[in-house]
Amino acid sequence: MTSISDRPGRWERIGRILAGPGDVGWAISHAALPFAEVREDGRVRVHFCARDRTNCARIGYVDVDPERWTTAGPVSPTPVLDLGPRGAFDDHGVTSAWIVTHEGRRYHYFTGWTLGQTVPFYFFVGLAIGNDDESGPRRVSPAPILDRSAIDPYLTASPCVLVE
């Protein structure tokens, strides 16, 4: 992951924040699809997905010092969101997409991966609600909240969610 400045209209490369997850048990490679969230205490928590030894993606995080744009702690020791049960829409991977805090609740939108026959993967949008504490966010359903349709017949993935 690489950080950039927030000066309006000007992007400035500052440097790499995290080269990869290291080997934390649940992840050995990648730090993909980062999503930065400013926490109440001013810290920046960057959620990202990483892959395990079987190439399945899970979501974790690292806290970042917003003054120096360097990591302010280790990669999460366990995934924030793990794989779904075998046969579910997210049994072969979960990747970070968007987090919204609304009325005191944190909504984690994610992309679930499952293996296909005629294509390598199918993607679907899932939702988990909760915090990054030990219990973690919990899925609202074993099914995706956004499935394929006539409008999106092949896949749904990576939503951007705004609260009006």
DSSP letters, 37-89, are: EE-TTS-EEEEEEEE-TTS-EEEEEEEEETTTTEE-SPPPSS-SB-PPPTTST
pTM: 0.86
- Whether residue 82 is predicted with pLDDT greater than 90 in this model: the reply is yes
Q: How confident is the model at residue 41 (pLDDT cuts 50, 70, 90)?
A: confident
Find out whether 85 and 142 touch, Cβ atoms under 8 Å.
yes
pLDDT score of 6: 60
Percent of the chain, pLDDT > 70?
93
Q: Which amino acid is at 30?
A: H
Start-to-end Cα distance in the chain: 30
- Which of 13-27, 123-137, 146-160 shows the lowest mean pLDDT across its residues? 13-27
Q: What is the CATH number of domain 2-139?
A: 2.115.10.20
* Domain residue ranges in the chain: 2-139
pLDDT tens-digit profile of 89-121?
999 999 998 999 999 889 999 999 999 999 999
